[in-house]
Amino acid sequence: MARGRGEGSVYLAKSGLWTAAVALPPDPLTGGRRRKVVRAKTKAEVVRRMRAVQLELAAAGDLPAGRAPTLAQWLTRWIDQDVAPTRKPATTADYRSVVRTHIVPAIGSRRLDRLTAADVRAVHARVAAAGASTSTAAKVHRVLRAALAAAEREGAAPRNVARLVKAPPSPVRAPRAMSADEARAFLAARAPKGDRARWAVSLMLGVRQGEALGMTLPRLHLDAPAPFVDLARELRRVAWAHGCGPLRAGARPCGRRRAADCPDRRADVPAHLEAERVHGGLWLLRPKTVGSLRRVAVPAALADALAEHLAAARPTRFVFESAPGLPVDPRADHRAWRAALAEEGLPAMSLHSARHTCATLLLEAGVPLRTAQEILGQTQALTTARYQHPSLAAQASALDAVAGAMT
């Protein structure tokens, strides 16, 4: 029987039902072919349904093929399309690790539309059986809940079952911070050892490690009437991603498992970030928005320490370099911090504790919350102060109070 124009693939199946198939875009997860199948008792009805699908496809750009994806497939799509384009590479890598290590092995094969609260509890049980910390258990639940919330919003899942299960308790731990006396003694002891300026930047400005290591000479203005530094860029280690194409039958077109070995590898840098490769896997990253511009005042005590460092080290591009023109590797920086603490008889603490030290001293000095948030580069702010921007003079006064406690 001849098909009418525009009817597409229409045929009478062995079941006695008229059947039509509409081609869909390739599967974003596997690259495989997909189609939407509709059935009816009459040819006219199946043609009507097929044309409705074609119109819906033209308007939406894509449609579900019928069978819901597995949770593992959805998680891959969610991270690639929702998380990676908007989060920092380190955050995306952390999400992938949580999914790969804890969620997929437990319930990854389950269909997204058939998940239950029992599945969520199965994830909790697996995390507990692995001996993971309470903070890891809480993180796993947060990632799963966020992924299922996206699935619910997009209609891929009928409801977010992670909301039905109580999240594991997050540990309440006060972050370790140095006292003013400890910070003062530490910096004084490091002066003859050549690394006082590096640790003073973290302790007196409260910057993140990537911000400190990403500081370049053109962005450090010690000769300005109110010295300041532009901290919009961060030094980050960025993972490689496959550039050869999507998975096909569980394998990449290049045949390599590791993205670093793919001939067409690309840096897994989110589209919202400007990126400059510096050395190896180290990149300078900067958000593309005007709001990403961030200048922080440099208090007098820190300006003096930095001036001494620049005169002695004579860097060529970065304020802190491992070799001419090359930044300090973050891993080496962490090792140097731990070694410095041990040498001065201080308890072990993360480099992030230097940021907590600055924040604590800012609060103790009575610095307004908005000024402290601006100094620390925190996005959460009081609604009434959303459009207030403390001047460099206000920042300098606040940071002088912090630096003064250490000198």
- Model confidence pLDDT, tens digit, residues 97-137: 999 999 999 999 999 888 999 999 999 999 999 998 888 99
Quick one: 189 and 328 in the same domain?
Answer: yes
In a domain, 217, yes or no: yes
In a domain, 95, yes or no: yes
Q: Computed over its alpha carbons, how large is the radius of gyration of the chain?
A: 28
What is the 8-class DSSP label of residue 365? T
In a domain, 251, yes or no: no
Are β-strands 228-230 and 220-221 bridged in parallel, bridged antiparallel, or unpaired?
antiparallel
17 and 40 in contact (C-beta within 8 Å)?
yes
Residue with tokens 């001065």: 344
Here the CATH number for the domain that contains residue 301 is: 1.10.443.10
Query: Rounded to an integer, what is the distance from CA 333 to the centroid of its chain?
Result: 21
Quick one: 130 and 159 in the same domain?
Answer: yes
Phi-psi region of 8 (alpha: psi -120 to 50; beta: other; left: phi over 0): left
User: In this structure, what is the dihedral angle of CA atoms 356, 359, 360, 366, given to the nearest 10 degrees?
Assistant: 180
35 SS3 class: strand
Quick one: 400 and 266 in the same domain?
Answer: no
Quick one: 205 and 300 in the same domain?
Answer: yes
- Return all residues near 32 (Cβ < 8 A) that are at least 6 apart: 26, 248, 249
Quick one: 299 and 263 in the same domain?
Answer: no
Q: What percent of the chain has pLDDT over 90?
A: 43
In a domain, 208, yes or no: yes
387 and 374 in contact (C-beta within 8 Å)?
no
Give the residue-averaged pLDDT of 157-170: 88
Quick one: 89 and 220 in the same domain?
Answer: no
Quick one: 302 and 186 in the same domain?
Answer: yes
* Alpha carbons 364 and 359: distance in angstroms, whole number: 9
Q: How many domains does the chain have?
A: 4
Q: Which two tokens stand for residue 300?
A: 């007098």
Quick one: 304 and 212 in the same domain?
Answer: yes
Identify any residues that bridge with 109 across adjacent strands, giving them in sequence order.
none
Q: Point out the domain boundary residue: 41, 60, 79.
A: 60
Are β-strands 34-40 and 18-24 bridged in parallel, bridged antiparallel, or unpaired?
antiparallel
Q: Which two tokens stand for residue 396?
A: 């300098």
pLDDT for the residue 103: 96
Here the CATH number for the domain that contains residue 89 is: 1.10.150.130
Is pLDDT above 80 for 74?
yes
pLDDT for the residue 389: 40
373 and 388 in contact (C-beta within 8 Å)?
no
**Which segment of 43-47, 315-319, 368-372 scores lowest on mean pLDDT?**
368-372
Q: How long a stretch of residues is the chain?
A: 407
166 and 145 in contact (C-beta within 8 Å)?
no
Quick one: 350 and 393 in the same domain?
Answer: yes
* Alpha carbons 333 and 339: distance in angstroms, whole number: 10
Q: Which two tokens stand for residue 298?
A: 């440099």
270 and 285 in contact (C-beta within 8 Å)?
no
In a domain, 170, yes or no: no
Quick one: 332 and 373 in the same domain?
Answer: yes
In a domain, 118, yes or no: yes
Is pLDDT above 50 for 57?
yes
What is the 8-class DSSP label of residue 41? S
| HSE-up (13 A, CA, CB side) for residue 54 | 13
- Average model confidence (pLDDT) across the chain: 84
Q: Which two tokens stand for residue 395?
A: 């920042």
63 and 57 in contact (C-beta within 8 Å)?
yes
In a domain, 1, yes or no: no
Residue type, 126: R
22 and 36 in contact (C-beta within 8 Å)?
yes
Q: What is the pLDDT of residues 168-212, one digit of tens each?
A: 887 656 568 898 899 999 999 999 999 999 999 999 999 999 999
Q: Point out the domain boundary residue: 164, 193, 211.
A: 164
Quickly count helices (H) and strands (E) in the chain.
14, 13
Is pLDDT above 50 for 388?
no
* Continuous H helices in 163-272: 180-190, 196-205, 209-213
Is pLDDT above 90 for 59?
no
For 153, the domain range is: 71-164
Quick one: 196 and 343 in the same domain?
Answer: yes
Q: What is the pLDDT of residues 212-260, one digit of tens each?
A: 999 999 999 999 999 999 998 899 988 888 888 877 766 788 988 888 8
pTM equals: 0.66
In a domain, 279, yes or no: yes
Quick one: 223 and 313 in the same domain?
Answer: yes
88 and 236 in contact (C-beta within 8 Å)?
yes
